[in-house]
């Protein structure tokens, strides 16, 4: 049975820094049995970063978008029914969708701040929480002016606990900085309830796409020597500097634009992305764009 203290020790051994910003992607079940459940893991993470540190977690609500881009899109009739019944995003009430029990525990902590993006919100706990989550841009949620971009500019670290790089949102930041054209295809559409009570569906200009292929990035990161590996509880864990992730992604995709796309021919996103990227040329100043 793992405890808050034993998990804190594991996080220290991994190298989680005190006093900075740490982006957490996690899978609770991978830890094995934990006394006190997800709340104990959240407390261990807070102890690891210390009073001066801030934790940042994705609290996405991809269940509250037009389902035409869901991994298994419904029929036209079912899509219409779902959209008619779907509620609008509420930052206080809309639970994160498939973000994991640890993220849920951190979001529910007193003092946690959540951005108000209707699809790609983030929650933060710590002295920089407001700074990271306020005024989240609607049209480029994973860009340099969003929570993950601000964290990267603040020299954040990314910790993966029991999850792979398909959960690593900093990869999308690199795509945004490089203005990769597939981000503007098949946009997420979210519901807005107007003051008159009407229902409007509005697109997000830059929408993150399938991340299943992001697992390929680990080999590149390992070759670059930027991964600190270890275990937290029973879970495999990695610690990486966000800037290193963005740099390695940029180096990979400027050489081979579709390198991080998945290989599933039935994927809703990747065949379209692959077609668009065939004619894409990286910006001449792409290195200067990196944080």
Smallest Cα–Cα separation from 105: which of 28, 198, 8?
A: 28
Average confidence (pLDDT) over 118-136: 98
pLDDT (tens digit, 9 = 90+) per residue, 14-31? 999 999 999 999 999 999
Global pTM?
0.97
pLDDT at 69: 95
The span from the CA of 74 to the CA of 48, in Å, is: 43
pLDDT of amino acid 252: 98
Q: Find the mean pLDDT for residues 43-47.
A: 98
Q: What is the mean pLDDT of residues 126-134?
A: 98
Q: What are the residue ranges of helices labelled H in the chain?
A: 4-14, 37-49, 76-85, 101-107, 129-133, 147-153, 170-177, 217-224, 242-255, 270-277, 286-289
Query: 212 pLDDT band (50/70/90 cuts)?
Result: very high
128's tokens = 């920089």
Query: How are the residues of the chain apportioned to helix, strand and coil, as percentages rounded to the nearest 5?
Result: 40, 15, 45
Parse the chain into domains and list their residue ranges: 4-289
For residue 157, which phi and psi values (nearest 5 degrees)?
A: -110, 150
What's the CA gap between 261 and 216, in Å, rounded?
9
Enumerate residues 6+ apart whose C-beta is below 8 A from 289: 177, 178, 283
Which position has the token pair 């509420």?
90
Q: What pLDDT is attached to residue 140? A: 97
Summary count for the chain: helices (H), strands (E): 11, 9
**196 vs 5, residue with greater confidence:** 5
User: How many whole angstroms from its chain centre is CA 67?
Assistant: 20
Give percent of the chain with pLDDT exceeding 90.
Answer: 99
- The whole-number average pLDDT for the span 173-185 is 98
Alpha-carbon gap, residue 13 to 150, rounded angstroms: 26
* Tokens standing for residue 20: 């900075």
For residue 138, give the 3-state DSSP assignment. Answer: coil
Query: Rounded to an integer, what is the distance from CA 54 to the centroid of its chain?
Result: 16
Q: What is the pLDDT of residue 22?
A: 98
One DSSP character per residue, 152-206 reads HHTT-EEEEES--GGG-THHHHHHHHTT-GGGGSS--EEEEE-TTS-EEEEE-SS
Q: pLDDT band at 113, cuts 50/70/90?
A: very high
- Give which of 17, 91, 95 is closest to 55, Cα–Cα: 17
Q: What is the pLDDT of residues 68-98, one digit of tens each?
A: 999 999 999 999 999 999 999 999 999 999 9
- Taking the C-alpha atoms of residue 241 and residue 172, their distance in angstroms, rounded to an integer, is 15
């Amino acid at each position: 049975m793992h405890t808050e203290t034993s998990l804190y020790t594991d996080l220290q051994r991994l190298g989680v820094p005190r006093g900075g910003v740490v982006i957490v992607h996690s899978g609770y079940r991978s830890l094995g049995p934990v006394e006190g459940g997800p709340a104990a893991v959240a407390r261990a993470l807070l102890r690891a970063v210390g009073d001066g540190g801030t934790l940042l977690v994705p609290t996405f609500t991809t269940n509250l978008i037009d389902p035409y881009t869901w991994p298994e899109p419904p029929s036209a009739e079912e899509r219409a029914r779902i959209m008619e019944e779907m509620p609008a995003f509420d930052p206080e009430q809309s639970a994160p969708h498939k973000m994991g029990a640890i993220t849920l525990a951190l979001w529910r902590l007193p003092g946690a701040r959540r951005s108000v993006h209707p699809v790609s919100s983030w929650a933060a706990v710590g002295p920089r929480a407001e700074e990271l989550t306020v005024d989240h841009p609607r049209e480029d949620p994973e860009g340099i002016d969003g929570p993950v971009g601000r964290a990267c500019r603040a020299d954040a670290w990314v910790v993966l606990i029991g999850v792979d790089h398909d959960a690593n949102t900093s990869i999308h930041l690199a795509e945004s900085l490089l203005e990769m054209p597939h981000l503007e295809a098949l946009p997420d559409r979210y519901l807005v309830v107007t003051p008159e009570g009407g229902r409007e569906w509005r697109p997000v200009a830059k929408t993150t796409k399938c991340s299943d292929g992001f697992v390929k990035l680990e080999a590149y990161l390992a070759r670059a020597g930027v991964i600190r590996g270890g275990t937290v509880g029973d879970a495999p864990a990695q610690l990486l500097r966000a800037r290193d992730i963005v740099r390695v992604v940029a180096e990979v995709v400027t050489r081979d634009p579709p390198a991080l796309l998945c290989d599933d021919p039935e994927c809703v996103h990747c065949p379209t992305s692959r077609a668009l990227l065939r004619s894409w040329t990286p910006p001449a100043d792409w290195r200067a764009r990196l944080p």
